Structure 1
Amino acid sequence: MSESPPLTRLTLDNGLRVVVAENRRVPAVAVNLWYFVGSRNETAGRTGLAHLFEHLMFQGSKNVPNGEHFTLITSLGGTLNATTSFDRTNYFETVPAHALELALWLEADRMATLPHGLTQENLDNQRDVVANERRERMDNVPYGTALENLVGLLFDEGHPYHHMPIGSMADLRAASLSDIHDFFGKHYTPANAVLSVVGDVDAATAADLCARYFGDIPGAPPPARPAHVAAMIDAPRHLDLVEPVPAPAIYLGFVLPEDGTAELDAATVAVTALGRGLGARLHRRLVRTERQAQSASFNVIPLVGGASLAVFAALAVPGASLADIEAGFRAELELFAKSAEAAHDVARAKALLERDRLAELSTLEGVADELSGNTCLFDAPERAYTTVSRLGAVTVQDARNAVAKYLLTPGYAAVRYQTEGASR
């Protein structure tokens, strides 16, 4: 899908950007709200606040009691959730088409009146929830801190991507109710948000409803954006950990260009060709041929603040050396840069990425999220429909160049997990 279907766009007087797309296939509608605030926007000593709001936004506002947002949506058969990343926070629900006004009212009420629900009791409660989430997803899970350790190595202290969205538990415990109110007032404003509505609606009617429910929320200038900061690493950075993990494992991190660039498109195709799926070159070499690893994968984390990430992960077989796995990884990259088979691998990667895009755009939720994201990050909702063509334009030589420039470099990060007595 290379052409954008008709989109209705408007910007309200308070700065809220709205995108509406009609899709009459099913009698449902997806509402998706992106706020341009993530962990990148946090300051030293106050990390984790962006993610904390993912929880606080469901704790009640002036007209919606604690937990009622979930109750109202699910009682109609709808679904809802929220996520936080380095660059943004988003809130979304899918409801029967007749419930569009309810979904818009709920989102507008918490954008306008959430401070009524920002109490000390709710703050204390949700800090505990976040602490439990960290224990369940990171601290008490084998290899759960791998990405946190990688970004800590790749990005120096003070870089906007130095810390994970979940933040520091010490910082969260130190945050006062005043800090929470200030963060909301600064970042949760109409001009710092994008609202998308996709589904069984008349576009003009839906746009009018968005204006009705959000138009009276007071406007404010959007907060200053953090500077785009490149990450320069000219030597390897290693971290060796001995933990009660099932098997030794190695994680390698590389700095890539920021999202929205042709350079990242080329790197994405290359990384996908090398490390995604059972047919990928790294899996074939490390798992099937050399039998050094139980699994091997390589993925891209796109970011917009001056750099993106590529993360390689391999779980060793008993007795295998992590140093040998790393050497095999590098050898396969060097081979890709000159192999005649690279054309086949690049074609396979493009097919996988095209399938991803078509799957995302096959659902109302996926379309709404893509429209919000591309409007929020690039002010270009139509980019949601050009990913396939942009990635398709990447040549084999582009992919090879990306490997040579961004992956076969002396600057990278390695986190190695060892069990007692394991070979390095």
Structure 2
Amino acid sequence: MKLVKFYALLVIFSIIASPISLLAQSKSGSLPQVKYEEFRLKNGLRVIMHVDRSVPIVAVNVWYHVGSKNEVPGRTGFAHLFEHMMFQGSKNYDDDYFKPLQEAGATINGSTNADRTNYFEVLPSNFLELALFMEADRMGGLLEAMTQEKLDNQRDVVKNERRQRYDNQPYGTAFEKISELMYPKDHPYSWTTIGSLKDLTAASMDDVKAFFRQYYVPNNATLVIAGDFDPAQAKKWVEKYFGPIPTGSEIPRPNPPQPKLDKEIRATYEDAVQLPRLYMVWHTVPLKHKDKPALDLLATILSFGRGSRLQSKLIYERQLSQDVFAAHSSREIAGLFQIVSTARPG
């Protein structure tokens, strides 16, 4: 990947420095309130229920407060690896997790980022109990069905995913390089969620089991049920299937100092791409900081739509770029603001 020449920096800075017109304030009134009920089980599981009978479906979503920032150097990629392991069978259903739910008409998936891992099913309402049973069984009984063969298989799947989405993708390792530049070496955001091939290869069964025992516990999870269901019956099923799962130990939370740069950093990388791309990145604020909404709005003003500051100047007026976008990525313990632009051919 080649960075565009310094003149492009001056163009972008001149655009950012120019006055920004105010967006019209909405007169539609306050947002409608979403009614929900919340309670906790004795083992610490947080449960949120929202009834919506408009269509006969229900969504079950389990969020674990663990992501790649809970890993340590030399053991990266564990959070994402576990997302894959959670679909490989558990104590009372040691088979492909997708099979019974998809036969019931469910949409199923999971995702991992630096701060959390989530799993969800959306399915016909009369199969709610099945979804709760399956989620509870893998929360409480995954390790009893885990084998070295399953671990080796899913580790290879994740390693191939890294090759396809990062190593062999144009500009695919850019954010990995940016993370290494923007954060100190031991900062939880200095590595990416996918992890390194070296760390994934080195992961042992004991390492993986220890990670699960620490973080995949009810006191580190939130269960959300939304859709067409009977709340009283749902509570009984939640108690029945999740209630017996033991509480885990206290969860350590990374809380490093807010990162900052002592000086401007410029780096150039070569990659097998036809067009140079420029990345400009600044440290901002964590997820719950009062300035987050303003920075989100700034990203929209700068690059959303043809009339935005960056698109109108760089793509249409000066014709320097073939694409440009701004984004504010605010995460649990730190944030980054980015402007990314790919140069036009020639």
Q: Under a length normalisation based on structure 1, what TM-score does the superposition of the two structures give?
A: 0.73
- Does 2:337 match 1:313? no
C-alpha separation between the residues in 2 aligned to 1:243 and 1:228? 33
C-alpha separation between the residues in 2 aligned to 1:249 and 1:265? 27
Instruction: State the partner residue of 2:200.
Output: 172
C-alpha separation between the residues in 1 aligned to 2:108 and 2:267? 38
Q: Is the 8 A contact 1:49 1:172 kept in 2?
A: yes
Q: 2:167 aligns with which of 139, 160, 164?
A: 139
Deviation at 1:64, TM superposition (A): 1.4
C-alpha separation between the residues in 1 aligned to 2:311 and 2:243? 52
Deviation at 1:299, TM superposition (A): 1.0
- Does 2:251 match 1:223? yes
Q: Is the 8 A contact 1:19 1:197 kept in 2?
A: yes
* One-letter amino acid matched to 1:105: F
C-alpha separation between the residues in 2 aligned to 1:173 and 1:111? 25
Instruction: State the partner residue of 1:325.
Output: none
* One-letter amino acid matched to 2:298: A
* One-letter amino acid matched to 1:42: E
Higher deviation after alignment, 245-254 or 124-133: 245-254
Instruction: State the partner residue of 1:247.
Output: 275
C-alpha separation between the residues in 2 aligned to 1:280 and 1:105? 48
- Does 2:183 match 1:155? yes
* One-letter amino acid matched to 1:266: A
Secondary structure of the equivalent of 2:38? strand
Instruction: State the partner residue of 2:311.
Output: 283
C-alpha separation between the residues in 1 aligned to 2:275 and 2:319? 14
* One-letter amino acid matched to 2:296: T
Q: Is the 8 A contact 1:189 1:222 kept in 2?
A: no
- Does 2:92 match 1:63? yes
Q: Under a length normalisation based on structure 2, what TM-score does the superposition of the two structures give?
A: 0.89
Q: Is the 8 A contact 2:85 2:150 kept in 1?
A: yes
Q: Is the 8 A contact 1:142 1:246 kept in 2?
A: no
* One-letter amino acid matched to 2:191: H
C-alpha separation between the residues in 2 aligned to 1:128 and 1:117? 19
Q: Deviations over 1:88-114 (max 9, x none)?
A: 000001010000000000000000000
Q: 1:31 aligns with which of 60, 68, 92?
A: 60
Matches for 1:76-91 after TM superposition, within 5 Å:
76-91=104-119
Distance 1:222 1:280, change over 3 A: farther
* One-letter amino acid matched to 2:35: P
Deviation at 1:318, TM superposition (A): 2.0
Deviation at 1:261, TM superposition (A): 1.9
Q: Is the 8 A contact 1:150 1:252 kept in 2?
A: no
* One-letter amino acid matched to 2:76: T
Deviation at 1:224, TM superposition (A): 1.3
Instruction: State the partner residue of 1:416.
Output: none
Q: Deviations over 1:292-348 (max 9, x none)?
A: 00000011222011x1122221110123xxxxxxxxxxxxxxxxxxxxxxxxxxxxx
- Does 2:300 match 1:272? yes
Secondary structure of the equivalent of 2:307? coil
Instruction: State the partner residue of 2:31.
Output: 2
* One-letter amino acid matched to 1:224: P
Which runs of at least 4 in structure 1 moved beyond 6 Å after TM superposition? none
Distance 1:215 1:198, change over 3 A: same
Instruction: State the partner residue of 2:210.
Output: 182
C-alpha separation between the residues in 1 aligned to 2:109 and 2:132? 15
Secondary structure of the equivalent of 2:223? strand
Q: Deviations over 1:6-47 (max 9, x none)?
A: 211110000000000001111000000000000010011111
Unpaired runs of 5+ residues, structure 1, are: 320-424
Unpaired runs of 5+ residues, structure 2, are: 1-29
Percent identity, aligned pairs only, is 43
Higher deviation after alignment, 237-246 or 184-193: 237-246
Deviation at 1:228, TM superposition (A): 4.3
- Paired residue total: 317
Higher helix share: 1
* One-letter amino acid matched to 1:136: Q
* One-letter amino acid matched to 2:337: A
Q: Is the 8 A contact 2:187 2:256 kept in 1?
A: no
Q: 1:121 aligns with which of 133, 149, 154?
A: 149
C-alpha separation between the residues in 2 aligned to 1:122 and 1:115? 11
